[in-house]
Amino acid sequence: MGIRRLHLKARMRQPQGTQIHFELRTGSTPSFDPRTWTAWERGTALQWPGRFVQWRAILETDAANKTPTLQAVTLETDIEEDANSLAPFKQAEFDQPELVHSSYPFAYMGLHPHQERLRKQYRLDEVIAAGKTELEQLALLRDWVHSQWLGWQSDKYPHCPSWNPLEVLDTTKGDWGFGMCTHYGAVFAGCASSLGWVARSIVVDHHCLAEVWCEELQKWILEDAGPAREFDATYEIDGVPINALELHEAAADERREKIMANKLPQSYIDVFCRFGIPLRNTHLIFAEPAELRHGSGQYHWDGYLWWSDDVDPRYAEYSLQTSRIGDFYWSVNQTRLYLQVAEKARALQVDLEHTAPNFSHFLVRQDGGPWREEREARFEWTLAAGENLLEARAVNIFGKQGRIAKARVEAS
């Protein structure tokens, strides 16, 4: 099977002085790789492209009060299909997520001597050891961070440390400076990252906390470590932990009475009127770019990505704003399978795509057998007559395993 021709059609408005240009690129692998993909080319048509295609639109204007509008895009394809090659196979089941990617690059904490020191010096594995579930482990870590120092005390210790978890813990525990909500959030995010989770700080209105990707729930959730006791919390609606956007939307549509913090009514949800994230969790290694005063007093740095309910932002003083959910809540540690007929009889070519930061390898198994390590994202799957099951998952360099993707195929 192959694509003979692809044509992009668009419905758009281009007022005088504005333009919309389209560019296309194509490749043989699910994710972009310069070794297997072409460069971007301006145009709306491709002849004999690869199996995978990406397009992008470039909007231009010569005046600040004029903008072109892209209303709809349709891709038309002319496909060459060999029915005989597909005849022996019948797709019975696909159990895998749609992978969501942010439009903004994010710098992730990886293996580093400082990461190892943080994990070992503060015995973080022991901190979470009693947790029987992932949510229990995250709660134990959050409570440990909350209990490390008494919040604020800036009148006694006026020095404000950076967001480096090692510096924060050394400074606050030694009474060399104060630690505010920003530091509780940064320490939680840094400790969680050093244990292999994907975590980040998140800034709200006059408060700061953290979000972490929860494998159990397959979503980002809030973890608030301090400073006051009521801030040592996970936020929930109907018993399910939520993220900042879910809290923000629940407050906006008057579901605030359902929002709970540690099973108690949440009384300060108005701080979620706005929220933003630094596009990195590498504060353990790199001090900059960052807030000049580390968030003491207010958050002035223009490097945060802020959520906006509308394309016309309420807080126009910040340059980076988005109303696209995927820019904030992208997929983490997920895997997707792509199958096509191989040249070998009764075999399928498998391509794997993942969203695992600090990716190490895949684990793959057939028909419920033992897991095997797979370093390549492409391999052949030889099928037996009858029903066949293939499962795959991504593993990061810390050993954290992501969601399992499944494909069930019947072969004759």
Residue 89 lies in a domain: no
Residue 268 lies in a domain: yes
Structure tokens at 357: 């930061």
Residue 330 vs residues 53, 100, 304: alpha-carbon distances, Å: 21, 5, 16
Output phi, psi for 254, to 5 deg: 65, 35
Structure tokens at 2: 């192959």
Last residue of a domain, one of 328, 354, 380: 328
Chain CA centroid to CA 106, Å = 9
**Structural domains of the chain, count:** 3
Low-confidence residues of the chain: pLDDT under 50: none
Last residue of a domain, one of 294, 310, 328: 328
- Residue 76 has a pLDDT of 95
Residue 94 lies in a domain: no
Residue 222 lies in a domain: yes
Statement to judge: residues 119 and 54 lie in one domain: no
Domain of 142, in residue numbers: 113-328
Last residue of a domain, one of 81, 96, 131: 81
Which SS3 state, helix, strand or coil, does residue 125 take?
helix
pTM greater than 0.95 (yes/no): no
Statement to judge: residues 184 and 266 lie in one domain: yes
Statement to judge: residues 162 and 295 lie in one domain: yes
CATH of residue 365: 2.60.40.10
Statement to judge: residues 74 and 146 lie in one domain: no
Statement to judge: residues 168 and 271 lie in one domain: yes
Statement to judge: residues 31 and 49 lie in one domain: yes
- Residue 390 has a pLDDT of 98
DSSP string, 79-111: EE--HHHHTTEEEEEEE-PPP---SS--BPP-S
Statement to judge: residues 357 and 322 lie in one domain: no
- Residue 83 has a pLDDT of 62
Residue 256 lies in a domain: yes
| Dihedral sign of CA atoms 233, 237, 242, 247 in order | negative
DSSP string, 363-403: EEEETT---EEE--SEEEEEPPSEEEEEEEEEEETT--B-P
Where does residue 365 rank: exposed (0-12), middle (13-18), buried (19+ CB within 10 A)? middle
Structure tokens at 395: 């593993």
CATH of residue 303: 3.10.620
Where does residue 303 rank: exposed (0-12), middle (13-18), buried (19+ CB within 10 A)? middle
Structure tokens at 7: 């044509």
Statement to judge: residues 117 and 6 lie in one domain: no
Statement to judge: residues 267 and 321 lie in one domain: yes
Closest CA to 57 of 108, 6, 21, 8: 21
Residue 10 lies in a domain: yes
Amino acid at 61: T
H or E element that contains 181: helix 181-194
Statement to judge: residues 48 and 121 lie in one domain: no
- Residue 263 has a pLDDT of 66
Statement to judge: residues 161 and 279 lie in one domain: yes
Statement to judge: residues 302 and 368 lie in one domain: no
Separation between Cα atoms, residue 394 and residue 335, nearest integer Å = 6
Residue 99 lies in a domain: no
Residue 198 lies in a domain: yes
Separation between Cα atoms, residue 169 and residue 179, nearest integer Å = 9
- DSSP conformation class of 38: P
